[in-house]
Structure 1
Amino acid sequence: MKIIIVDDDEMVYESLQLLFSREKDIKVIGTANDGAQAIAACEASQPDAVLMDIQMPGMDGIQATRELKRRWPQIRVMMLTTFEDERNIRLALLAGAEGYLLKSAPVQDMAQQLRALDSGSSVLHANVLRQLTQPEKKGLDVLTTRETDILQLVAQGCSNKEISSQLFISEGTVRNTISIILDKLEVRDRTQLALYYWRRV
C-alpha cells in the first residue's frame, strides 16, 4: 500500500515515515505539510491512502480532504490528529474521510487500521466513536430568539448588511451577535455556523 503523510509538524511526519518503514506492505511515497501540498502530491504520485492532519496553515486537512475526494474518490483518507472533538470529527467525515485516528495511537495500530482502510472498511478510533455516539453537548436552545434569527440568516448565506436590513438592527449589532453565537456554539467561522445549523434543523 502506497501512502502520503500530511502534517505541518516535520517531526511528526518524519517519525511516522521511519516507523512505517518497518512495515513490509506499507510504503510512504511522499509527505506534505499543508493541504495544497497534499493535493499536489496526490496528483503526482496517486497513493492508495493519505494520512491527513486537520489543523494546518493555509488549506487545512478538512478542505484538502474535500478537494482530494472530489478529484480522486478512490484515494482513501485517514484523518490523523490530536483533536477528538465532535465538530472536527463530523466535518472530516462530511468531507469524505473514511477514517479518523488519534496521533496518540501506537504506530502498529495505525498500520493495522490503514490495512483495514485499504480493504474498504471505515475506521474510527474508539474515543472518536464514543464522541459521535454521545448526545451532542450544545443545541440551538442555548441561543436567544434574536441570536437564532441571525443564525438562520447566516445559514441562508446572508451578509451582515442583509441581516441588518431584514432585522432592522445595525451591522455592528449583527457582528457582535455573531461573535456571541460563535462563542456559545464553540465554532470558528460563518461556514461552520451554517453547517452547525443545517445539521440540527
Structure 2
Amino acid sequence: MRVIVVEDSRSMVGLIKDILKRKKEISQVDVFYDGDSALKKIREEKYDFYILDYELPGVDGVTLAKEAEKKVGKERILIISAFEDFKHDRYNVLHKPFQIGELLKYLEL
C-alpha cells in the first residue's frame, strides 16, 4: 500500500510515520509539507491512501482531497484538522490530537 501524507508540522509527520510503520502492508510513505507540491504529486501519481492536513501553506486539504478523489474512492481519503469544529460531509475527518488506534482504523479498508 502506498500512502501520501501532507502535513506542515514536522512533528506531526513524525508521529504519523511512526504509526504507519505498524502496518506491514504499507510499503511506501511519501511526505509533503505544503499543498502546492503535494497537488503536483497527486496529479502525477495514484496512492492507495491519502492523509491530508486541512490547513496547509498553499493549496488546502479539501482541494487536495477533491483531486485525490478523481483517482480513489472518498473512503481512502482522511483529512486531519486541529479545528475541533471542522467537519466535512464528504470526507472522513480526524481531529488532532488523536489516538494511534483512531488513525489505524481508517487504514482498515
The normalised TM-score by structure 2 is: 0.80
- Pair 108,40 (structure 1): closer, same or farther in 2 beyond 3 Å: same
Structure-1 residue corresponding to 2:71: 72
Query: How big is the shift at 1:59?
Result: 0.8
Task: Give the letter aligned to residue 50 of structure 2.
Answer: V
SS of the residue aligned with 1:23? coil
Q: 1:112 aligns with which of 99, 105, 108?
A: 105
- Pair 8,107 (structure 1): closer, same or farther in 2 beyond 3 Å: same
SS of the residue aligned with 1:67? helix
Task: Give the letter aligned to residue 68 of structure 1.
Answer: A
- Pair 44,67 (structure 1): closer, same or farther in 2 beyond 3 Å: closer
Task: Give the letter aligned to residue 72 of structure 1.
Answer: K
User: Please, which runs of 5 or more residues in structure 2 have no aligned partner?
Assistant: none
SS of the residue aligned with 1:89? coil
Equivalent-residue separation in structure 1 for 2:36 and 2:68 (angstroms): 10
| Contact 2:34/2:58 (<8 A) preserved | yes
Task: Give the letter aligned to residue 47 of structure 2.
Answer: P
Structure-2 residue corresponding to 1:160: none
Aligned-residue RMSD, C-alpha: 2.1
| Contact 1:3/1:49 (<8 A) preserved | yes
| Contact 1:30/1:41 (<8 A) preserved | no
List structure 1 runs of 4+ shifted beyond 6 angstroms. Answer: none
Query: How big is the shift at 1:28?
Result: 4.1
Equivalent-residue separation in structure 2 for 1:26 and 1:83 (angstroms): 28
| Contact 1:36/1:59 (<8 A) preserved | yes
Structure-2 residue corresponding to 1:39: 39
The aligned runs of 1:7-18 (5 Å cut-off) are: 7-18=7-18
Equivalent-residue separation in structure 2 for 1:18 and 1:27 (angstroms): 13
**Higher strand content, 1 or 2:** 2
Q: Are 2:96 and 1:103 aligned? A: yes
| Contact 2:6/2:53 (<8 A) preserved | yes
Q: Number of aligned pairs?
A: 108
| Contact 2:39/2:59 (<8 A) preserved | no
Query: How big is the shift at 1:74?
Result: 3.6
CA deviations 1:115-164 (Å, max 9, x no partner) are 1xxx3xxxxxxxxxxxxxxxxxxxxxxxxxxxxxxxxxxxxxxxxxxxxx
**Higher helix content, 1 or 2:** 1
The answer to which structure, 1 or 2, has the higher relative contact order (CA under 8 A, 6+ apart) is: 2
SS of the residue aligned with 2:47? coil
The normalised TM-score by structure 1 is: 0.47
Query: How big is the shift at 1:73?
Result: 4.0
